[in-house]
Every structure is written in structure tokens, then in C-alpha cells.
Amino acid sequence: MLHPPRMPKGHVMDSSAENELLFAEEDQDDPPPSEADANPLDWKILIVDDDPEVHLITRTVLSKVRFKGRGLNLLSAHSAAEAKQVFAQHGDIAAILLDVVMESEDAGLRLVHYIREDLGNRATRIILRTGQPGQAPEREVIVNYDINDYKAKTELTAQKLFTTIVSALRAFDDILELETGREQLRLANAILEQRVADRTEELARSNTELEAFAYGISHDLQEPLRMVRGYLQLIRRRLGGALDKETGEYMEFAQDGANRMATMISDLLDYARISAQPTRFTALDLRGPLDRALANLSLSLTESGATVVKPDTPALVRGDEGQLGRLFQNLIGNALKYRASDHAPRVTISTEPSDINGRTAWSIAVADNGPGIAPEDAENVFTLFHRLDRETAGGTGVGLALCRRIVERHGGRIWLDSTPGQGATFHVLLPSA
């Protein structure tokens, strides 16, 4: 609740009284309050003027002003130097009524610069009031100095001073609320970032434990599976022709299931090893791992009658040659496995300069002329154990998941572009060496 300045007892404020000049001679009924009487919650107003009479009159006029249930704590300084000392003791001054000409002709203006630039204080409202406007022209001062109001003492009535102070307090309070909100937002962001970091660390730890578990289980399953396959082969050799047709088919189903499980366990081990084993990054030309992959696929390439087009120019990256060789082997092998039935497969590998978040990189494309993949499956193909065609194609659904893991460990990314009936293109971005 706002209270206008209290007038002397028995006095009725009319239009002429409201416009009475503040610094005209007048009798005062009550002595102005001292700083010792102030409530710690009061708004701090600093009066800076070399004229003691200005301090006395200003204190008298503002002594009963309240804003939002809080009074005013009126502080005094008779020079810019004293004002600096007050600011050193009080960091929460809401407004300053500042004279210009004091110990020097521009002492007040120099104090403005000190408050805003040296102290970095943008919250305190600075009200410049001068008895010599010619010394500090209003237009020039408003443009060149970060002040919030400009008043000539000759125009500053009691009512205008009341209005000026209340407006300054309201602006100061709004700034405090904004700064409080900004600080709360900063704290909330810090808490959220810490929670994300903790969660990320927890997930990384869980993934590491899960990968170690998968590696251990896959390794431990090899021995009992080897035993199952061995006994199936022993039964077939022992019984031989004594098996009837139906039992023979059952044996074939069991043998096929054991073989597929062995392949899946082997692939799962490869997947787990990518994270479990340390990488050996060196600067290398991508054509080296590519040739290594093609050598491993030579039999499949011959049987399918495939054509492979390799890049002619070097592409230097920093990576693990074994893992990058496995990347090319899986991508090219995938093209051979999912080839069209009416023509021989053709795989084209191309490279071109690119970037990753402003860093130089190489963009690798592995394109085939197969049946293609539906857009809705473009992301699913990288999911572990996901297979698009479980009936007509073999595989365990690990190969492309392994490709993504390799690319991510090299600080890159992989994605798929494909249109059904027009082939598929796998894109890989890897940082340059």
C-alpha cells in the first residue's frame, strides 16, 4: 500500500500544495528520521548531495513513504567519494538521488560510471537531480550515462519526488524478481544437468555391466552348445540308416537350431568385444580396412557374382583397422545377403569430405542394387537381434547393430537411405585423421 507524503497537521493538500517546490523554505513539524531508526527490511535510498539542506528536506518529505508494506531507510553522502563508501557497506541500495556538481563539476556523472561499470550494478535506480542543468544538459546525460531519471531541483515538488521514488522502487523490485527468477532457473538447470550426468553415468555403468554379462554368458554357452552339437553328430553316426525318416528330420531340425545358436553366440561375442576390448586408433586410409573386408568376403562375392566398386582417392581417418574392416564386411555382406533374385548384386563404396559439428570428417556411402528397405524400418535395422525377413534370409540381427556400435566408438554416426525396389545406401560419418 502506498502512502503519499504526510503534510503538516491540520493542512489539507490541494493543487497548490501539491505543486509547492520541495526546496522552498517551509516549517517542518516532525524531525526527519535517522539511519539508526531504520528497519532492516526497509528500502534503502541513498541521498548524494553536498548541500545539507537538501538532505534535511528530502528526509522530511520521504519519511512516511511506504511501498509494499516497507518503509524507507534513507542513507546520506555529501560527496561522490562518500557515496562510494556507502555502496561498499550497502550492496542492496534500491535508488540513489544524485546531485551532479559536488567536489567537482562532474562528480555525480563520474559516480554513475563507477556504479554501473566498476561495480557492475545495473539494479540500483539512479535519479539525477541537479540545481545547475546547464552543467549537465538532460539530453546529453540521458544518452551518454546509464541513469533512470533526470530532474531539475527547481521542478521537483514534494508530490513529484514521491512519484519518482515509488516508480524507482517498483522498477527495482521488478529487477530483483527477475534476478531471483533467473537465479532459480540457473539452479534448476544445474540440478537438471547434474541429474542427467548422474543418469548418464548410471546408464554407462549399467551398459558396461550388461556388456560384460553378455560376454560372459556367450562365452560360457559355447561349451554346452559344443557338447549338444557333438552328441547330435554322434547319434547320427551311431544310428546311421537305422533312423526312420521322421526321426531324421527331427535330428536335422535340432542340428540346424544348434548351428544357428552357435552363430548367434559368436555374433553376440563379437558385439560385446567391441566395447570390452580397448581400441587401437591410428591414422589410416579407409581403403585398407575395405580391402581386408573384401578378402574375407571373397567366396561370397564369387558365388553371388557381385561387382564391387571401390573409391579411387584416399580417405584418412583415425580408427581401429580391425573394427573398420568389420564395419565394411558387415555392410557389404548385408548387401550380398539381401540381394535381388533377378540380377547380380552391385555394391558401390564412395567417400567424400564432410564435417561433424564443425570438425573435418569423411562421409562414406555403401550403396547396393538390392530390393531396398521400407522407410519405417530404416532405424530398426540397427537394433540388436532385429531381422526384417526371418523366413528367407539368414543372420542373427547382430551385424548392423555391431556396425552402429563400431561407428559410435569412432565418434561418428550411421544411418540408412532406401526406397523399396531401388536399393539401399548406408551412410557413415567418421572424423578425419
User: Does residue 157 carry a pLDDT above 90?
Assistant: no
According to the model, what pLDDT value does residue 349 have? 96
Above 80 in pLDDT, residue 28?
no
Indicate whether 234 and 151 sit together in one domain: no
Do residue 400 and residue 310 come from a single domain?
yes
For β-strands 93-98 and 125-130, DSSP reports them as parallel
Instruction: Give a yes or no: residue 369 inside a domain.
Output: yes
| Rg for the chain, CA atoms, rounded | 41
Confidence (pLDDT) at 396: 67
The span from the CA of 407 to the CA of 331, in Å, is: 12
Residue 23 pLDDT more than 60?
no
- Residues 123, 237, single domain; the answer is no
Backbone angles phi, psi at 73, to 5 degrees: -105, 105
Question: Are 87 and 171 contained in the same domain?
Answer: yes
Q: Domain check: are 297 and 394 in the same one?
A: yes
**DSSP E strands: which ranges in 298-345?**
307-309, 316-319
User: Does 305 lie in the same domain as 337?
Assistant: yes
* 254 within 8 A of 229, measured Cβ to Cβ: no
- Domain annotation covers residue 61: yes
Residue 408 belongs to a domain with what CATH number? 3.30.565.10
Average pLDDT on 96-100 reads 94
Are residues 427 and 293 part of one domain? Answer: yes
Write out pLDDT tens, residues 163-190. Answer: 999 999 999 999 999 988 888 999 888 8
Percentage with pLDDT > 90 across the chain: 43
347, part of any domain: yes
Domain boundary among 235, 250, 276: 276
- Same structural domain, 338 and 241: no
Distance CA 249, CA 261 (A): 18
Same domain membership, residue 350 and residue 259: no
Mean pLDDT of 291-318: 92
| Reported confidence tier of residue 32, pLDDT bands at 50, 70, 90 | low
| Residue 140 to residue 150: CA distance in whole angstroms | 11
Q: Residue 275 — very low, low, confident or very high, per pLDDT cuts 50/70/90?
A: low
Using 50, 70 and 90 to split pLDDT, how confident is the model at 432?
very high
User: Could you tell me if residue 192 is inside a domain?
Assistant: no
Domain boundary among 241, 276, 311: 276
For residue 241, the domain's CATH number is: 1.10.287
pLDDT band at 5 (very low <50, low <70, confident <90, very high): very low
User: pLDDT tens digit string along 246-265?
Assistant: 887 888 888 877 777 776 67
Here the cell at position 137 is 544538459
Q: Is residue 190 part of a domain?
A: no
- Bridge partners (DSSP) of residue 317 are 284, 432
pLDDT per residue as tens digits for the range 34-93: 555 668 889 999 999 999 999 999 999 998 999 999 999 999 999 999 999 999 999 899
pLDDT of residue 227: 80
Q: Residue 21 is part of which domain span?
A: 15-182
The yes-or-no verdict on residue 1 having pLDDT over 50 is: no
**How much is the pLDDT for 116?**
94
Q: What is the pLDDT of residues 292-303, one digit of tens each?
A: 999 989 998 999
Residue 214 placed within a domain: yes
Q: 122 with 173, same domain? A: yes
Query: By the 8 A CB rule, do 421 and 372 touch?
Result: yes
Classify each residue of 68-100 as buried b or exposed e, where b means 16 or more C-beta atoms within 10 Å of its C-beta: eeebbbbbbbbbbebbbebbeeeeebbbbbbbb
Select from 230, 253, 276 the last residue of a domain. Answer: 276
**Same domain flag for 171 and 244:** no
Predicted confidence (pLDDT) at residue 207 exceeds the cutoff of 70: no
Least confident of 88-92, 187-191, 214-218, 283-287: 214-218
Q: For residue 43, what are the contacts with CB-CB under 8 A and spacing of at least 6? A: 67, 70, 71, 72, 73, 94, 95, 169, 172
Q: Which of 337, 424, 339 is nearest to 373 (CA)?
A: 424
Are 40 and 148 in the same domain?
A: yes
Residue 188 falls inside a structural domain? no
pLDDT of residue 305: 93
Q: Are 398 and 267 in contact (CB under 8 A)?
A: yes
Identify whether 194 is part of a domain: no
- Quote the pLDDT of residue 15: 35
> What b/e sequence results for 357-381 when a residue is b if at least 16 CB atoms lie within 10 Å of its CB, and e otherwise?
eeeebbbbebbbbbbbbeeeeeeeb
What's the pLDDT at 61?
A: 92
**Strand pairing category for 316-319 and 282-285:** antiparallel
Number of domains in the chain: 3
CATH number at residue 148: 3.40.50.2300
